[in-house]
Amino acid sequence: MNLRRAFLGTLAAGSLLAAAFGCGDGLPDKVKFAAPPSALLQGGVNVTFQLAHADDEEMKVRFFVTNNSDQPMWVNRDGFALRLPDGRILMRRGSAHEPYLIQPGQGHNVWVAFGEKGLEMRTLQGASVIIGGVSYQNDPTPRVVGEIPLSTAGPLDD
């Protein structure tokens, strides 16, 4: 009986300690990021920021990409990457998809996710999305056309 009482006492003390100091890592479930509302990049690529947020090991970013060139343009999300503050580069997470064909004067939603096992994305103070995988009818070589800076903007309200 004394062993049971000691176990229950230890359990109660642990519960009180957890309640007093909080449980978990102290981070919100999701952290939102801000970016410039719009950026005109090389080759007539206009990127309009929609949303960026991170949870534990993944950051999701949404853009609307407009083709301001005079050529049909392809955007391959596999060419997008995330530059971390320490210089590391994370490639897009997810399965391969066909590139988006965007006619001159038209646009398309481009949503990408980045992550790395063991990297707590909610603790990042900033990063940059590398806009790559862009090619044109007259030059099919995919290229990087610019970067969009991201900065932390607090917890994401669901």
Residue 96's pLDDT is 77
- Tens-digit pLDDT profile for residues 31-87: 999 999 999 999 999 999 999 999 888 999 999 999 999 999 999 999 999 999 999
CA dihedral (151, 28, 55, 24) positive or negative: positive
**Cα dihedral 127→125→93→81 (10° resolution):** 10
Say how many C-beta atoms besides its own lie within 10 A of residue 143's C-beta. 15
Q: What is the pLDDT of residue 48?
A: 98
Which has the higher per-residue pLDDT, 110 or 96?
A: 110
Distance between CA atoms of residues 80 and 112, nearest Å: 8
pLDDT at 9: 41
Parse the chain into domains and list their residue ranges.
31-155
pLDDT of residue 113: 95
Which fold, 31-155? Answer: Immunoglobulin-like (2.60.40)
Distances (CA, A) of 156 to 32, 34, 55, 112: 5, 11, 10, 18
Residue 135 pLDDT > 70:
yes
> 97 pLDDT band (50/70/90 cuts)?
confident
